[in-house]
Structure 1
Amino acid sequence: MYKKIKEKGYEGSSSLVRNFIDEFRKGKGNELGILKEKVLRRTLISLLYKEIDSVKDITKKQLDKALNVYPELKIIYDIAKDFKALLFSKREFDLESWMERAKTLNIKELNSFISGIKRDLEAVKSSIKYGFSNGLAEGTVNKIKVIKRIMYGRCSFEMLRKKVLLQNFN
């Protein structure tokens, strides 16, 4: 790093650069006038599936700044928002054009996601076209599994049945 800085015209010593980097790493960048704001990675990731109003750790201004500083993030953010809009648009015929656009980005994780969609393309299109969800059934199955885990090996099926029925009334 010192060599690169020296090539750009820096005339100071390498120890000054080392000290500067150490201070910066210790979080004293604000005192040096360099670090202004810090946005956590998990906050940016949560913006991929939540609206900015529901994420408390970031403002619209901070998001815009992060998207300007990191153009790759802007690309991923835009493609994720487009997919979310597609899911709620009820226009399943736009899915293939979205997949083509996303495929051109050549992002390994996104390509894997697209491959998964292609494996079950009709089901994905149906989920876009129709507003049905199996969330209620999945939640009930999850509750039954939790009760089974708690009871593991201690009671009969009849007791499990009674516990499940009792949970549904609570």
Structure 2
Amino acid sequence: MGAGWTINAIARRLNLDRKTVRRYRDTDLDQLLASAHERRPASVLEPFKPYLNTRFTEALGQVSGSRLFLEIRERGYRGSRQVVRKHLAALRAGNVEPVRADIPSPRKITSWIMRPREALTDQQEERLLEIRLACPDITRACDLARAFTDLVRNRRGPFLLEWIRQAEQDAPKPMSGFAGFLRQDLDAVTAGLTLYWSSGVVEGHVNRVKTLKRAMYGRASFALLRTRILIRE
């Protein structure tokens, strides 16, 4: 551009799209370099860098590359020893880029919260505790979710209103919204969490009728369908 070339001329010369040329012209160099780094394929060492960095920090830098190599090899690393030594040298030099922590996915965290405590392994319980300590919102959501699960499993409907009040007061927005939705039909929800009667039997019969209809569609008459429904096959 400094030489007076137009976007069209540069695009023709480099066989690029005009939009690509314009993007490189209008984007700051630092942003382009950062974008290129994000698209760079991850090395075989990438999943193990959080562990290496943690071990290096705990040992105050007094740990050998060979030892770290053997440790991550037991954890599934299949790269070379030289790559580990190079990363360790960069750690000692203090020019290693920050590595994103090994954070579990939201789906996994949710499964840990909703599962009974006795169903969690010691490692899962420890990870969930770390997440709770790191995020107050998750801590509050976890406590409320487990309290609501207890209401459902043990039919403690009379305590529902108090749970709604707590959720509306200081819960994360999605959970406070759910509490407000329950309040709109409070009597019915309370009854559902208190009484032993439910619509389960009715829903079962409806599902059975739909199954019969699908099986007989285009093959038999209404009279036969009525007979099969009435004799409860």
- Give the TM bin, normalised by the shorter chain: 0.5 to 0.7
Amino acid at match of 2:138: L
- CA distance in 1: counterparts of 2:190 and 2:117, whole angstroms: 27
Q: Deviations over 1:78-107 (max 9, x none)?
A: 111111222344443322221111001254
Which of 121, 131, 152 pairs up with 2:186? 121
User: Is 1:104–2:169 an aligned residue pair?
Assistant: yes
Matches within 5 A, 1:1-170: 18=34, 22=38, 26=42, 28-31=46-49, 33=52, 34=99, 37-54=102-119, 59-105=124-170, 107-164=172-229, 169=233
- CA distance in 2: counterparts of 1:157 and 1:48, whole angstroms: 49
Preserved CA contact (<8 Å) 1:86 1:95: yes
- CA distance in 2: counterparts of 1:74 and 1:84, whole angstroms: 15
Preserved CA contact (<8 Å) 2:113 2:146: yes
Preserved CA contact (<8 Å) 2:168 2:177: no
Unaligned runs of 5+ in 1: 1-13
Across the aligned residues of Structure 1 and Structure 2, the Cα RMSD in angstroms comes to: 3.6
Distance 1:150 1:66, change over 3 A: farther
Amino acid at match of 1:51: P
Q: Deviations over 1:121-160 (max 9, x none)?
A: 1122222222233323313322322332343344322332
Deviation at residue 45 of structure 1 after TM alignment: 2.2
- CA distance in 2: counterparts of 1:135 and 1:164, whole angstroms: 18
Question: What's the % identity of the aligned pairs?
Answer: 24
SS in 2 for 1:67: helix
- CA distance in 1: counterparts of 2:41 and 2:134, whole angstroms: 20
Deviation at residue 35 of structure 1 after TM alignment: 5.8
Deviation at residue 25 of structure 1 after TM alignment: 8.3
Provide the aligned length of Structure 1 versus Structure 2. 152
Q: Deviations over 1:22-57 (max 9, x none)?
A: 49983714235356645232222234443245468x
Preserved CA contact (<8 Å) 1:92 1:128: yes
TM-score (norm 1): 0.65
